[in-house]
Protein backbone atom coordinates (compact mmCIF):
# COMPACT_ATOMS: atom_id res chain seq x y z
CA UNK A 1 0.00 0.00 0.00
CA UNK A 2 1.19 3.46 -0.91
CA UNK A 3 0.21 4.95 2.46
CA UNK A 4 2.25 2.37 4.38
CA UNK A 5 5.23 2.84 2.09
CA UNK A 6 5.14 6.60 2.58
CA UNK A 7 4.70 6.18 6.35
CA UNK A 8 7.80 3.95 6.59
CA UNK A 9 9.79 6.29 4.34
CA UNK A 10 9.08 9.36 6.46
CA UNK A 11 9.42 7.54 9.78
CA UNK A 12 12.74 5.94 8.90
CA UNK A 13 14.15 9.18 7.47
CA UNK A 14 13.12 11.49 10.33
CA UNK A 15 16.52 11.09 12.10
CA UNK A 16 18.12 12.21 8.81
CA UNK A 17 15.69 15.06 8.19
CA UNK A 18 16.12 16.82 11.52
CA UNK A 19 19.93 17.39 11.76
CA UNK A 20 20.29 20.00 9.01
CA UNK A 21 17.31 21.95 10.28
CA UNK A 22 18.65 21.90 13.82
CA UNK A 23 22.05 22.99 12.49
CA UNK A 24 20.41 26.11 11.07
CA UNK A 25 19.17 26.97 14.57
CA UNK A 26 22.30 25.86 16.44
CA UNK A 27 24.97 26.87 13.92
CA UNK A 28 27.62 29.48 14.45
CA UNK A 29 31.05 29.64 15.99
CA UNK A 30 34.13 28.03 14.55
CA UNK A 31 33.81 26.81 10.96
CA UNK A 32 34.95 23.21 10.38
CA UNK A 33 37.51 24.33 7.80
CA UNK A 34 38.95 26.83 10.30
CA UNK A 35 38.71 29.53 7.63
CA UNK A 36 41.15 27.75 5.33
CA UNK A 37 41.08 28.08 1.56
CA UNK A 38 42.34 25.48 -0.91
CA UNK A 39 44.50 25.92 -4.02
CA UNK A 40 41.56 27.31 -5.97
CA UNK A 41 41.42 30.21 -3.47
CA UNK A 42 37.95 29.19 -2.38
CA UNK A 43 37.14 28.12 1.16
CA UNK A 44 37.41 24.40 1.86
CA UNK A 45 33.82 24.33 3.16
CA UNK A 46 32.88 27.88 4.15
CA UNK A 47 31.40 29.58 7.20
CA UNK A 48 28.10 27.73 6.73
CA UNK A 49 29.54 24.46 8.11
CA UNK A 50 30.38 24.82 11.80
CA UNK A 51 31.43 22.39 14.52
CA UNK A 52 28.55 23.42 16.73
CA UNK A 53 25.90 23.07 14.01
CA UNK A 54 27.24 19.65 13.07
CA UNK A 55 27.48 18.37 16.65
CA UNK A 56 24.10 19.68 17.81
CA UNK A 57 22.42 18.59 14.56
CA UNK A 58 23.80 15.07 14.84
CA UNK A 59 22.84 14.81 18.51
CA UNK A 60 19.30 15.96 17.71
CA UNK A 61 18.90 13.29 15.02
CA UNK A 62 20.12 10.54 17.37
CA UNK A 63 17.86 11.78 20.16
CA UNK A 64 14.89 11.78 17.81
CA UNK A 65 15.59 8.17 16.73
CA UNK A 66 15.66 7.10 20.40
CA UNK A 67 12.42 8.98 21.02
CA UNK A 68 10.80 7.32 18.00
CA UNK A 69 11.86 3.93 19.41
CA UNK A 70 9.90 4.78 22.58
CA UNK A 71 6.81 5.60 20.53
CA UNK A 72 7.30 2.55 18.33
CA UNK A 73 5.15 0.11 20.35
CA UNK A 74 2.15 2.40 19.85
CA UNK A 75 2.58 2.90 16.11
CA UNK A 76 3.99 -0.47 15.05
CA UNK A 77 0.58 -1.46 13.65
CA UNK A 78 0.50 1.65 11.50
CA UNK A 79 4.15 2.15 10.58
CA UNK A 80 5.69 -1.17 9.57
CA UNK A 81 9.26 -0.25 10.52
CA UNK A 82 11.59 -1.98 12.97
CA UNK A 83 13.00 0.17 15.82
CA UNK A 84 16.22 2.06 15.02
CA UNK A 85 19.37 0.18 16.06
CA UNK A 86 21.74 2.68 17.71
CA UNK A 87 24.15 2.31 14.75
CA UNK A 88 21.37 3.36 12.38
CA UNK A 89 20.36 6.26 14.64
CA UNK A 90 23.91 7.59 14.40
CA UNK A 91 24.47 6.84 10.70
CA UNK A 92 21.19 8.40 9.54
CA UNK A 93 21.85 11.54 11.57
CA UNK A 94 25.58 11.96 11.07
CA UNK A 95 25.31 10.79 7.45
CA UNK A 96 22.84 13.60 6.77
CA UNK A 97 25.27 16.18 8.14
CA UNK A 98 28.17 14.62 6.26
CA UNK A 99 26.23 14.68 2.98
CA UNK A 100 25.51 18.37 3.45
CA UNK A 101 29.18 19.03 4.23
CA UNK A 102 30.31 17.13 1.12
CA UNK A 103 27.87 19.16 -0.96
CA UNK A 104 29.41 22.39 0.40
CA UNK A 105 32.86 21.05 -0.51
CA UNK A 106 31.65 20.43 -4.08
CA UNK A 107 29.98 23.85 -4.20
CA UNK A 108 33.19 25.60 -3.16
CA UNK A 109 35.26 23.62 -5.67
CA UNK A 110 32.90 24.69 -8.43
CA UNK A 111 33.17 28.33 -7.35
CA UNK A 112 29.74 28.64 -5.77
CA UNK A 113 29.63 31.07 -2.89
CA UNK A 114 28.07 30.23 0.45
CA UNK A 115 24.32 29.92 0.17
CA UNK A 116 24.37 29.34 -3.62
CA UNK A 117 21.90 26.77 -4.93
CA UNK A 118 22.83 23.51 -6.55
CA UNK A 119 19.49 22.01 -7.55
CA UNK A 120 19.22 18.30 -6.97
CA UNK A 121 22.40 18.11 -4.93
CA UNK A 122 20.98 20.39 -2.20
CA UNK A 123 17.86 18.26 -1.88
CA UNK A 124 19.37 14.80 -2.00
CA UNK A 125 23.00 15.05 -0.79
CA UNK A 126 22.06 14.16 2.77
CA UNK A 127 19.75 11.32 1.69
CA UNK A 128 22.44 9.58 -0.36
CA UNK A 129 25.12 9.74 2.32
CA UNK A 130 22.85 8.85 5.24
CA UNK A 131 21.47 5.83 3.37
CA UNK A 132 24.90 4.64 2.19
CA UNK A 133 26.36 4.95 5.67
CA UNK A 134 23.37 3.16 7.20
CA UNK A 135 23.59 0.35 4.63
CA UNK A 136 27.17 -0.20 5.80
CA UNK A 137 26.78 0.04 9.59
CA UNK A 138 23.25 -1.38 10.08
CA UNK A 139 22.86 -3.63 7.03
CA UNK A 140 20.13 -5.94 8.35
CA UNK A 141 17.90 -3.11 9.52
CA UNK A 142 18.58 -1.17 6.34
CA UNK A 143 17.52 -4.07 4.08
CA UNK A 144 14.38 -4.73 6.16
CA UNK A 145 13.38 -1.06 6.18
CA UNK A 146 14.49 0.44 2.88
CA UNK A 147 12.78 -1.82 0.39
CA UNK A 148 12.78 -0.55 -3.19
CA UNK A 149 9.33 1.12 -2.92
CA UNK A 150 10.43 2.86 0.31
CA UNK A 151 13.61 4.14 -1.36
CA UNK A 152 11.55 5.46 -4.28
CA UNK A 153 9.21 7.20 -1.83
CA UNK A 154 12.21 8.77 -0.06
CA UNK A 155 13.71 10.05 -3.31
CA UNK A 156 10.41 11.56 -4.44
CA UNK A 157 9.24 13.01 -1.11
CA UNK A 158 12.51 14.34 0.29
CA UNK A 159 12.99 17.17 -2.24
CA UNK A 160 9.40 18.29 -1.63
CA UNK A 161 9.80 18.24 2.15
CA UNK A 162 13.21 19.93 1.88
CA UNK A 163 11.98 22.77 -0.32
CA UNK A 164 8.94 23.22 1.92
CA UNK A 165 10.82 23.39 5.22
CA UNK A 166 13.52 25.68 3.82
CA UNK A 167 10.92 28.08 2.40
CA UNK A 168 9.27 28.09 5.82
CA UNK A 169 12.58 28.70 7.63
CA UNK A 170 13.24 31.61 5.25
CA UNK A 171 9.74 33.01 5.69
CA UNK A 172 10.12 33.16 9.47
CA UNK A 173 13.63 34.62 9.18
CA UNK A 174 15.71 31.60 10.24
CA UNK A 175 17.52 31.25 6.91
CA UNK A 176 19.09 33.87 4.67
CA UNK A 177 17.97 32.17 1.47
CA UNK A 178 14.80 30.24 0.72
CA UNK A 179 16.74 27.05 -0.22
- Could you give the CA distance from residue 115 to residue 146 in angstroms, rounded to a whole number? 31
CA-nearest of 42, 52, 38, 57 to 126 is 57
- Could you give the CA distance from residue 91 to residue 88 in angstroms, rounded to a whole number? 5
- SS3 of 45-80: the string is CCCCCEHHHHHHHHHHHHHHHHHHHHHHHHHCCCCC
By CB under 6 A, residue 8 contacts ligand CTP: no
Comparison of 16 and 101: residue with beta carbon closer to ligand CTP: 101
151 neighbors 162 (Cβ within 8 angstroms): no
- Could you give the CA distance from residue 49 to residue 45 in angstroms, rounded to a whole number? 7
All residues at 6 or more sequence positions from 67 whose CB lies less than 8 Å from its CB, including other chains: none
Tell me, residue by residue from 73 to 112, as one string, x for binding to ligand CTP by CB under 6 A and - for no binding.
------------------------x--xx--x--x-----
Comparison of 101 and 150: residue with beta carbon closer to ligand CTP: 101
Residue 42: DSSP 8-state: S
Tell me, residue by residue from 108 to 137, as one string, x for binding to ligand CTP by CB under 6 A and - for no binding.
------xxx---------------------
Which of 18, 49, 95, 146 binds ligand CTP (CB under 6 A)? It is: 49
Comparison of 79 and 116: residue with beta carbon closer to ligand CTP: 116
Which of 50, 93, 123, 158 binds ligand CTP (CB under 6 A)? It is: 50
The rounded radius of gyration (Å) of the Cα atoms in the chain is 16
Comparison of 123 and 145: residue with beta carbon closer to ligand CTP: 123
Comparison of 72 and 114: residue with beta carbon closer to ligand CTP: 114
Residues 15-34 that bind ligand CTP (CB under 6 A): 23-24, 27-28
Task: List residues near ligand CTP by CB under 6 A.
Answer: 23-24, 27-28, 46, 48-50, 53-54, 97, 100-101, 104, 107, 114-116
Amino acid sequence: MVVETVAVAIWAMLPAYIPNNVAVLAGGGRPIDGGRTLDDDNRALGDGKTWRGTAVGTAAGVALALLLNRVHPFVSGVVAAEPFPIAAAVSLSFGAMLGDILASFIKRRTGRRRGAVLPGVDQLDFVVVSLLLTAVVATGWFLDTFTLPVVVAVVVLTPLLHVGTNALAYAVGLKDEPW
